[in-house]
């Protein structure tokens, strides 16, 4: 029996789908930095893909591996800096999630991958519904329709 090299093994535990959702992201804590000394960073972004285990979204070189972040959809913005933010007004996602926390597991200067921590049952159900609906749509669209002569 042959084993695939580690670089080709799919490490994902969950189905991931491409979907754009608007989020406000705030870094809650940097590793090895006291919370009082953590600079609060807030930015609006769109997800690139999502699964029940995590999310990938755009960023502008502000997040580092190990950062603990909070992600909120428009319905759950309560931080004063988010409520004063002009770009929050333009958030368009109709999906209503409770605030979610996660850890940045990889980051480049333009995107970041975050693993969810303590995802609420409500959020897990909503995300699973989004994933399955989009996955089924992708599967249906990938099947070639028979040609009729």
pLDDT tens by residue, 30-59: 777 766 666 778 888 999 999 989 999 999
Task: Give the DSSP H or E segment for 123.
Answer: helix 121-142
Domain boundaries, given as residue ranges, for the chain: 17-140
Residues whose CB falls within 8 Å of the CB of residue 17, separated by 6 or more in sequence, listed in order = 49, 50, 51, 130, 131, 134, 135, 138
What digits encode the pLDDT tens for the residues 58-92? 999 889 999 999 988 877 676 666 666 776 656 66
Residues whose CB falls within 8 Å of the CB of residue 18, separated by 6 or more in sequence, listed in order = 48, 49, 134
Q: Encode burial over 78-93: b for 16+ CB neighbours within 10 A, e otherwise.
A: ebeebeebeebeebeb
Phi/psi for 56 (5° steps) reads -120, 130
SS3 111: strand
Global pTM? 0.76
Per CATH, the architecture of 17-140 is what? Beta Barrel (2.40)
Q: Are strands 54-58 and 17-18 parallel, antiparallel or unpaired?
A: unpaired
């Amino acid at each position: 029996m042959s084993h695939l090299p580690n670089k080709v093994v799919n490490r994902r535990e969950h189905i991931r789908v491409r979907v754009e959702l608007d989020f406000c992201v705030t870094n809650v804590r940097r590793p090895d930095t006291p919370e009082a000394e953590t600079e609060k960073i807030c930015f609006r972004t769109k997800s690139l893909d999502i699964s029940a285990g995590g999310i990938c979204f755009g960023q502008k070189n502000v997040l580092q591996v190990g950062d603990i972040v909070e992600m909120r959809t428009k319905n759950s913005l309560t931080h004063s800096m988010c409520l004063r933010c002009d770009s929050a007004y333009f958030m368009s996602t109709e999906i209503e999630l409770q605030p979610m926390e996660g850890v940045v597991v990889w980051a480049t200067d333009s995107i970041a991958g975050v693993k969810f921590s303590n995802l609420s049952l409500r959020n897990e159900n909503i995300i699973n519904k989004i994933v399955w609906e989009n996955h089924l749509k992708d599967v249906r669209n990938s099947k070639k329709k028979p040609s009729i002569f």
